[in-house]
Each structure stands twice: as C-alpha cells, then as structure tokens.
Chains A and B, each alone.
Chain A
C-alpha cells in the first residue's frame, strides 16, 4: 500500500538549516505531486510547499518563500524540503502529503506521511 515516510526533523538554532525527506513507496511516484504541510503545536494546518509530479513547477507559501526549497529524486522516490534561515515561528510538525489525482489533477491529499517535528529554538 502507499506509504510516505518523513525524516529529518530535529532541534535547530534560529538562522540554521534542516533538510526533510519524504520517501514514498507503494505507488508510481513519478505521476503524483507531493506537498508539505505543517502544524505548529496546538494549532491548525498550514500549507508550506509543493512540487509537481515531474518537478517542473514548485510553489511556496509566503512565510517560507525565499528560505525553503523543494526538490524530488525520481530514482529514490523521495521529495526533499530544504529549510534555510529558520525562525522560531517555523517550529511545527511537518507532514508530506500525496495528491489524490495523477498528473496534477486536483491538489487535495489522500495519503500523508507521519510527520516530523522541527523545533527552532535558541
């Protein structure tokens, strides 16, 4: 079955960097877009970034634009979220999520990774 495994979280100082990974299995990775969504402790869901199924388009939420980048490796069936210049307000559980439809047909999410906690603190 479809599985998304998220890794790479941890504690980092303000201004630091982290790279999150989302490793997919049980699906044809190359036909689905992958998104990142975060949830600050006790708060709601916040969309962060996406990469199209073929890697040609990438979009970011305003709060992370210019600091985060996203990429995908079709050989490893993995999407990466590179987070630079981290701020305390980036503290959250980060989930990756797969879109339901192939080839960009509808950006809603039918499978989610388990999430990884990123804590930005001095």
Chain B
C-alpha cells in the first residue's frame, strides 16, 4: 500500500500567518492527491483535489501543489475558522490511504 507521510503532525500559528503542510507519498502517485479539513466533531471537508484544483466554495487562501511524491497545502493568511486538522489522501490505486493528519492550533 502507498504510504502518505504528513509533516508536521501539529503546528501553532497566528491569525494572518502563512502555513504550509507537506505530504510525501511512498511512490509516484502523479497528481492523484486530495486535501481535507476536519474541524472537531465535524465531517471532513474537501479542499483540494488533483493536487492543485480548488474545490468549489473553498476560499482562495487555500492552495495545493506538487506532483509525483511531494505535495503541499498552503494557507496564505490563516483565519480563525482555519484552526482544524488537515489530511491528505491519495487516489492513485487501491487501497486508498490518508496521511496521519496535521493539527493546526492557535498560537
């Protein structure tokens, strides 16, 4: 199975900060990667798919990049509602897998 390694596992940041989360795949997955945001007690929300395509309705401060094995999710200016846990997920082949998650906390 393809492993996804997210880093960092957690971070503390302030409102207005630029935040970058990385996701590394154990093998080439082309651009078959999605990013989700999960607020405690809520279901995950799709942010980015195909590595860089912004889901409809998601604010443009979110962006995704990368291909092959190295990917990143960037929040250009952190807002109070962005404090959450973020997951990457590949859909290159079965079994699908998620990264371990990155918890973004308020500094």
Seen from chain A, the residues whose Cβ lies within 8 Å of a Cβ on chain B are: 35, 37, 44-47, 50, 59-62, 95, 97, 100, 106-110, 112-115
Contacts and interface: CB of A to CB of B under 8 A. Distances in A.
Given A100-B49, A113-B43, A62 B1 contact: yes
B55 A110 contact: yes
B96 interface: yes
A106 B87 contact: no
A46 B1 CA distance: 13
B46 A47 contact: no
B91 A106 contact: yes
A38 to B, nearest CB: 11
A113 B44 CA distance: 10
Given A106-B91, A107-B91, A114-B43, A47 B98 contact: yes
Interface string B68-100: 000000000000000001010101001111111
A50 B94 CA distance: 10
Contact of B94 (A59, A106, A113): A59
Contact of B101 (A45, A47, A107, A115): A45
Given A44-B100, A45-B44, A108-B34, A61 B87 contact: no
B46 A61 contact: no
B44 A46 contact: no
A97 B43 CA distance: 10
Contact of A44 (B43, B50, B96, B101): B101
Given A106-B50, A106-B91, A108-B34, A47 B96 contact: yes
A12 B49 CA distance: 36
Contacts of B34: 108-109
